[in-house]
Amino acid sequence: MPEHHPAAGAPGRTVRDAVLDVLRRNGTTTIFANPGSTEISFLTGLPDDIDFHLALHEGSVVGIATGWATAQGRPAVVNLHTTAGLANAAGALATARTNRVPLVVVVGQQDRRHLAHDPFLAGRLNGLVGEYPVWTNAPVRAQDVPGAVARAHHEAVTGHGPALVVVPMDDWDAPAAPEREPAPLEVLRAVPADLDRLPELVALLDGARSPVVVAGAGADDSATWAALVALAERIGAPVWQEPFGARAGFPQDHPAFAGHLPPGRAGVREALDGHDLLLVVGAPVLRQYPWEPGELVPSDLRVLHVTPYPDEAHNGVADLAVIADPAAVCGDLADRVRPRPAPRRPATERPAPVAPPAAGEPLRPAHVFDLLTTLLPSDAILLEESPSSRPELQRRVQAREPLGFVSAAAGGLGFGLPATVGLKLGAPRRPVVAVLGDGSALYGIQALWSAAHYRVGAVFLVMANGSYAIMDRLAERSGRGKAPWPSFGEVALRAVAEGLGCSAVRVRTHDELTSLLGEVLPTLATREDPLLVDIEVAADPHYG
């Protein structure tokens, strides 16, 4: 028999009742949390239609929620403890913002009735996580909480990031206001661009001698992939993937795919040399990592930018920026521009498989990635957080379907392992594999307990080289002397995983790896239990 939920204005209806109804109305009835005492009155006794997922650290909470929301394409609800909980989640919230993932984040606070006396656990929360939330609110009255949570949902979707509401612990049991919360029941978002100017874009593309495209995470959906493929084929343009993107913006097995754009200005200028018009779709123009002198793009290159994100349009170097749905714009352009011959550059050539290591030689990341190339299902979601081997991964493993590649655009570690759990929870029918560095995995290792407890059938491939390999190489190249940090080869991730209830295996040889992946990867879609594969590898000599 379904539970009774008091109607708006009904006697005995509490603020908590009203907030749970907001979650039901928005279809966000799964809560991700690591509770503290300020959350007891909200979380205990949840109705049966509200799902709860526990993680053992707030960074893992937000990381799992971010993966879930990425897979679902809608906001996830996160509940965090006061000061320490919110602070522990800061890095994960920064990643959610940079990855443009909507989250509704409810943060606990001490009892409103004695906050003025600064009691134990009273949080000084204003500004604690900087400007990473797209919206933050501390309701003036308990009765304002349901409206604030409803608005947070709309703000998270509109702003493409986490929206925070701070709720004192006594507010949940306060009587709800008799009137409906002051927030729209539904928000319709119109396309903001003036598509009457589409003929101008058509004329620019038609007038270009040699157009080129850069695609990014904002183009990673089925409609945009189809539209962008049609447009690239129509105008005969090669398509580059943005550097450091959270997702792939174009099918990487398509003949027009040119590769991953370098993250430095010299490499960008070389890649774009000979082109006279650059069309950037769903990516910044253009995100860099190391500072390098010289122009960002060649001076004779005209730049057009199509993005759904206003802030992305405002800080680029485009001649013309279009804030609109990329699928709509690219689809219309593909129908109108004049056809051209195939791209002037051939499809990206994948490197030849590396030979298995000789007796006594170590495995390298390329050996792992060659096996993934052969065995990974085409609809797999591959999450990457292995900075030292990411370039080799990108050279060898292709994203062949939308959501085929996921990474942390913010650059901080700790996203990969928890997000993998969330991705599999949010897309249970898709195969999900993570490629993680051992250093990266340690930042979010607590999420393995959640994976085991909730029977999340993802596979975690850990490139265990016992060091921060990318930092070691950066230190070497700096010419400033020896790095002060030691290696950590004594860390046994298999033991850590098993201690958290997750099955794990240590792999040292190519034969062991080939046999294991040949057995496990074909089962990914229906797998119900997680597996951590602790792969002993030598540091890869290539990192950028």
Question: What tens digit of pLDDT does each residue of 295-308 get?
Answer: 888 888 999 999 99
Average pLDDT, stretch 305-321?
Answer: 91
Q: In sequence order, what are the beta bridge partners of 51?
A: 30
Q: Which two tokens stand for residue 348?
A: 């990206």
What b/e sequence results for 356-375 when a residue is b if at least 16 CB atoms lie within 10 Å of its CB, and e otherwise?
Answer: eeeeeeebbbbbbbbbbeeb
Please name the CATH architecture into which domain 15-173 falls: 3-Layer(aba) Sandwich (3.40)
Share of the chain above pLDDT 70, in %: 94
- CA 106 → CA 37, 84, 164, 290, 384, distances in Å? 14, 14, 6, 36, 28
Q: Burial level of 161, CB count in 10 A (0-12/13-18/19+)? A: buried
What's the pLDDT at 81?
Answer: 95
Q: 125, 83 in Cβ contact below 8 A? A: yes
Q: Distance (Å, rounded) from C-alpha 484 to C-alpha 398?
A: 37
Share of the chain above pLDDT 90, in %: 78
Q: 16, 168 in Cβ contact below 8 A? A: no
Where is 461: in which H helix or E strand? strand 459-464
| pLDDT over 70 at 348, yes or no | no
Average pLDDT, stretch 70-86?
Answer: 96
Q: Please state the φ and ψ torsions of residue 99, each to the nearest 5 degrees.
A: -80, -5
Q: 137, 186 in Cβ contact below 8 A? A: no
Question: What tens digit of pLDDT does each residue of 100-114 get?
Answer: 999 999 999 999 999
Question: What tens digit of pLDDT does each residue of 251-293 get?
Answer: 999 999 999 999 899 999 999 999 999 999 999 998 888 888 9
Q: 419, 447 in Cβ contact below 8 A? A: no
Q: Distance (Å, rounded) from C-alpha 493 to C-alpha 495?
A: 5
Q: Distance (Å, rounded) from C-alpha 227 to C-alpha 237?
A: 14
Where is 161: in which H helix or E strand? none
| pLDDT over 60 at 3, yes or no | no
Q: Distance (Å, rounded) from C-alpha 34 to C-alpha 52?
A: 10
Q: How confident is the model at residue 11 (pLDDT cuts 50, 70, 90)?
A: low
What's the pLDDT at 105?
Answer: 98
What's the pLDDT at 414?
Answer: 94
365-536 CATH: 3.40.50.970
Q: Distance (Å, rounded) from C-alpha 129 to C-alpha 228?
A: 36
| Domain boundaries along the sequence of the chain | 15-173, 195-336, 365-536
Q: Which two tokens stand for residue 282?
A: 């769903």
* Domain 15-173 and domain 195-336 have a common topology: yes
CB atoms near residue 482 (< 10 Å): 7
Ranges 4-13, 38-47, 186-195, 465-474: which has the least confidence: 4-13
What's the pLDDT at 466?
Answer: 73
Q: Which two tokens stand for residue 102?
A: 């909507």
Single-letter amino acid code for the residue at 130: G
Q: Distance (Å, rounded) from C-alpha 53 to C-alpha 56?
A: 10
Q: Which residue has the tokens 């602790």?
A: 534
Q: Distance (Å, rounded) from C-alpha 209 to C-alpha 212?
A: 10
- CA 432 → CA 68, 197, 343, 419, 461, distances in Å? 12, 41, 33, 11, 11
What's the pLDDT at 110?
Answer: 92
pTM of model > 0.95:
no
195-336 CATH: 3.40.50.1220
Average pLDDT, the chain: 91
